[in-house]
């Protein structure tokens, strides 16, 4: 099972690594980070570099496609190598997935038209522009298209996917292996739960948010 995780400059690290850490533990998984070029790809802050080990052309037919989000998403909203690769890979993929604003890239590539999808809560309202029904849930599975909400939700997305691919026992084994028993010290993970002033402050800065969530 070939899993391709797309990297692009100014991606959000956890968007990519959450699903990686789960999906790479599936039996027979072969995971590869792909980019327009091989070599280091920097994240939104520029203080983290992941290495793309393959070009898009090197990985034409992955079984699973994972598209992370991050402010660099804005560079991939019109037709180009990434969209062309996504549309071609999607023809044969078993699952086409995204985390955070990665769903905007899938949408702009035309892959989510007429479907339900989620995204980072600050980006949900952008989905209808591509004929996608925004759905404020943590993980949306619509046919083979699996989209996750913001950043950390990729872990939950990947565990859902692991269960569907390999069965509940394997997914639970992975959950136990990564000791995923979350205990956030606050209950502020969604706009419904966070203090109103924090939500409004973050929303007011939302044009910066997609640049950098916290200044």
204 part of the interface to its own copies, by CB under 8 A: no
Which positions from 52 through 111 interact with its own copies, judged by CB under 8 A?
A: 53, 100
User: Of these, 31, 73, 97, 98, which contacts its own copies (CB under 8 A)?
Assistant: 31
> Smallest distance, Å, CB 114 to its own copies?
25
The Cα 85–Cα 81 span in angstroms is 6
100 included as an active-site residue = yes
User: Of these, 189, 200, 207, 211, which contacts its own copies (CB under 8 A)?
Assistant: 189
The Cα 102–Cα 76 span in angstroms is 10
Q: Using CA atoms in the order 205, 44, 33, 146, what is the torsion angle rounded to 10 degrees?
A: 0
Joined tokens for residue 113: 């038209």
Task: Let me know: does 170 contact 26? Beta carbons within 8 Å.
Answer: yes
User: Of these, 144, 168, 200, 204, which contacts its own copies (CB under 8 A)?
Assistant: 168
Task: Let me know: does 22 contact 162? Beta carbons within 8 Å.
Answer: yes
126 part of the interface to its own copies, by CB under 8 A: no
Catalytic residue among 16, 17, 23, 100: 100
Stretch that binds its own copies, among 20-28, 82-90, 102-110, 127-135 (CB under 8 A): 20-28
The Cα 47–Cα 158 span in angstroms is 26
Joined tokens for residue 26: 């599936």
User: Of these, 114, 143, 182, 207, which contacts its own copies (CB under 8 A)?
Assistant: 182
User: Of these, 37, 51, 61, 79, which contacts its own copies (CB under 8 A)?
Assistant: 51
**Which CB, 83 or 160, lies closer to its own copies?**
160
> Smallest distance, Å, CB 142 to its own copies?
17
139-142 and 145-148 strand pairing: antiparallel
> Smallest distance, Å, CB 77 to its own copies?
21
The Cα 45–Cα 90 span in angstroms is 30
The Cα 98–Cα 145 span in angstroms is 8
186 part of the interface to its own copies, by CB under 8 A: yes
């Amino acid at each position: 099972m070939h899993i391709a995780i797309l990297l692009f400059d100014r991606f959000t690290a956890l968007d990519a690594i959450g699903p990686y850490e789960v999906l790479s533990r599936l039996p027979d998984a072969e995971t590869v980070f792909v980019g327009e070029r091989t070599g280091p790809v920097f994240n939104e802050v520029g203080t983290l570099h992941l290495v793309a080990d393959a070009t898009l052309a090197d990985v034409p037919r992955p079984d699973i496609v994972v598209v992370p989000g991050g402010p660099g998403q804005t560079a991939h909203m019109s037709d180009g190598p990434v969209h062309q690769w996504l549309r071609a890979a999607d023809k044969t993929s078993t699952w086409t997935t995204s985390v955070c604003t990665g769903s905007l890239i899938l949408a702009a590539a035309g892959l989510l038209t007429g479907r339900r999808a989620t995204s980072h809560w600050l980006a949900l309202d952008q989905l209808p522009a591509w004929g996608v029904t925004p759905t404020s849930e943590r993980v949306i599975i619509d046919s083979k298209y699996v989209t996750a909400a913001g950043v950390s939700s990729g872990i939950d997305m990947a565990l859902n996917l692991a269960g569907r691919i390999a069965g509940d026992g394997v997914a639970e084994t992975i959950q136990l292996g990564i000791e995923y028993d979350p205990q956030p010290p606050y209950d502020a993970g969604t706009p419904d739960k966070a203090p109103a002033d924090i939500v409004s402050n973050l929303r007011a800065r939302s044009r910066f948010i997609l640049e950098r969530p916290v200044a």
